[in-house]
Amino acid sequence: MESEATATSHKLLLRAGLIRQTSAGIYSYLPLAVKSLQKLERLIDEEMTAIDGTKLACPSLAPAQLWKESGRWNAMGGELWRIKDRKNVDFCLGPTHEEIVSSLMASELQSYKQLPLRLYQTTTKFRDEMRPRSGLLRSREFIMKDMYTFDVSEEAAKTTYELVCEAYGRILKRLDVPFIKAEGDVGQIGGSMSHEFHIPAECGEDHVIVCTDCKVSVNQAIMTQDNSVSSIRGCQLATNCRSHSHKAIEVGHAFYLGTKYSEVFRVTFTDDNREKRVAEMGCFGIGVSRLLQACIEALSPPSGDQIIWPTQIAPYKVCIVPIDTKEDNSAHQLNSLAETLYDTLNDGRVPVLDSDVIIDDRMHLSVGVRLADAALVGYPMLVVLGSRTIENGLIELQHQYSGETEYLTFESLVAKLQTFMM
């Protein structure tokens, strides 16, 4: 419910009809949200493929035995969603998949020639949050991209670690949102090294300390008890450093695991000397649904009357609004022109499901309502077909984020929008 929402982005997602709450911390994604999530997942896929990531799909339902072998069945506490089947066998709804993927690779990995392996998936995860809040930022069911890597040595695993961290940085740069990479807590995942990716935001639950001189960043949660800047690991200026604290939303996390899971599940391979060795592992996650909302939180005005999207994941880049001018036959002419413009921009090559153009043909609603809806949803480009179009053939193009308005001929409009949508 919007009345219970506190974060601006949560209110916007509800007001714009992108999500609806099913129960506390559990949401349905409506068509516009699905469209944006598909684009975001595609962008992430591109960056994972660029570092030789291979996609797989693991079950959300995990046997308790695997989690007991790793020691996390009890260590995870109340957040692990435990269930029993009709035979009274214990399972859990996976918040992450180290156990399943490690068990899988124990039976598949044989030779060093198969390494490195960088396996990832984008699936629904579950966490029984005690206090779900802020919409998709802290929910009980969420979408996550998780990657699990296997290497022949610690050196190779750390090279992979840096490659994935660089890919995460590229993802956030492509979304054009501010972000901070900070040293993080290994928590229940484990391992010996961890970095987090944060988007600064006042509604964020993390506090990231950044040294303004040497630029080292760290999650405040892992600083030593005196909370001094000198406790930032790797800080070059020690007590002379100046620090700045940011409230932030964690959207990504990287862990160097070493052999924490591969030892337990016997993920081994034969090296080039025919000796059996244990694979070195890393795991990496991006909260896809959380990232969607975090981008809106970072870019949209606090007034809460307009979503501003990273252009690459706006549900549609162009919205066409034909306006009934009440003149004879004008509605038919403008609707026909809207269809022609839609077909021209799609150029017959784009499947309808992948179209970046939408027509608001709700002619039973007033123009004020439709324009307000277009602003709220945040389509970057708004094309208005009205009386000026009928009179002199000029079409109104509103740049929704900058507030700029242009009047263009049909040909000039098509050229500009085709370039914009590339």
User: pLDDT tens, 177-225?
Assistant: 999 999 987 777 766 789 999 999 999 999 998 887 777 888 888 875 3
304 domain residue, yes or no: no
DSSP string across 195-231? EEEEEE-TT-SEEEEEETTT--EEEGGGS-TT--GGG
Q: Is 4 a residue whose pLDDT tops 50? A: yes
Measured CA to CA, the distance from residue 283 to residue 181 in angstroms comes to 16
307 domain residue, yes or no: no
DSSP string across 190-203? --SEEEEEEEE-TT
Q: Of the given ranges (163-177, 181-195, 244-258, 375-389), which has the lowest mean pLDDT? A: 181-195
Residue 321 in contact with residue 370, Cβ under 8 Å? Answer: yes
Cβ neighbours, 10 Å, residue 381: 24
* pLDDT score, position 230: 45
Tell me: do 287 and 321 sit in the same domain.
no
Q: Enumerate residues 6+ apart whose C-beta is below 8 A from 165.
A: 181, 195, 254
Tell me: do 290 and 325 sit in the same domain.
no
Helix-strand-coil split of the chain, %, nearest 5: 40, 30, 35
362 domain residue, yes or no: yes
Number of alpha carbons in the 13 Å side-chain half-sphere of residue 263:
6
Question: What does the angle CA 209 – CA 288 – CA 307 come to, to the nearest 5 degrees?
Answer: 85
Q: Provide the pLDDT confidence category of residue 235 given band limits of 50, 70 and 90.
A: low
CATH number for position 386: 3.40.50.800
Taking CA atoms, 365 is separated from 333, 372, 392, in Å, by 18, 11, 25
DSSP 8-state code for residue 265 = T
Measured CA to CA, the distance from residue 15 to residue 6 in angstroms comes to 13
Residue 149 in contact with residue 281, Cβ under 8 Å? Answer: yes
| Nearest to 383, CA basis, from 328, 421, 332, 326 | 421
Q: Is 326 a residue whose pLDDT tops 80? A: no
Give pLDDT tens digits for 106-158.
999 999 999 999 999 999 999 999 999 999 999 999 999 999 999 999 999 99
Cβ neighbours, 10 Å, residue 293: 28
Tell me: do 209 and 103 sit in the same domain.
yes
Measured CA to CA, the distance from residue 152 to residue 184 in angstroms comes to 25
46-78 CB burial, b ≥16 within 10 A, e <16: ebbeebebeeeebebebbbebbebbebbeebee
305 domain residue, yes or no: no
Tell me: do 325 and 411 sit in the same domain.
yes
Average pLDDT for residues 273-285, to the nearest whole number?
A: 97
Tell me: do 287 and 354 sit in the same domain.
no
* pLDDT score, position 191: 67
Our count of domains for the chain comes to 2
275 domain residue, yes or no: yes
CATH number for position 54: 3.30.930.10
Measured CA to CA, the distance from residue 179 to residue 297 in angstroms comes to 13
Measured CA to CA, the distance from residue 418 to residue 422 in angstroms comes to 6
- pTM assigned to the model: 0.93
Q: Of the given ranges (80-89, 346-355, 393-402), which has the lowest mean pLDDT? A: 346-355
Rg (CA), the chain: 25
What residues make up the domain containing 331?
316-421
Size of the chain in residues: 422
Cα torsion 189, 193, 199, 203 to 10°: value is 50
Whether a cis peptide bond, with omega within 30° of 0, leads into 200 is no
Q: At what angle do helices 154-174 and 31-50 cross, to 10 degrees?
A: 140
> Which residue among 248, 270, 299 closes a domain?
299
Please give the structure tokens belonging to residue 257.
């695991």
40 domain residue, yes or no: yes
Measured CA to CA, the distance from residue 139 to residue 25 in angstroms comes to 4
* pLDDT score, position 354: 77
> Which residue among 245, 267, 299 closes a domain?
299
> Which residue among 249, 272, 299 closes a domain?
299
The pLDDT > 90 percentage for the chain reads: 78
377 domain residue, yes or no: yes
Q: Is 81 a residue whose pLDDT tops 50? A: yes
Query: What is the rounded end-to-end Cα distance, in angstroms, of the chain?
Result: 37
Tell me: do 187 and 39 sit in the same domain.
yes
* pLDDT score, position 234: 54
Give pLDDT tens digits for 150-164.
999 999 999 999 999
Q: Which amino acid is at 231?
A: S
Tell me: do 107 and 154 sit in the same domain.
yes
3-class SS of residue 314: coil
308 domain residue, yes or no: no
* pLDDT score, position 240: 59
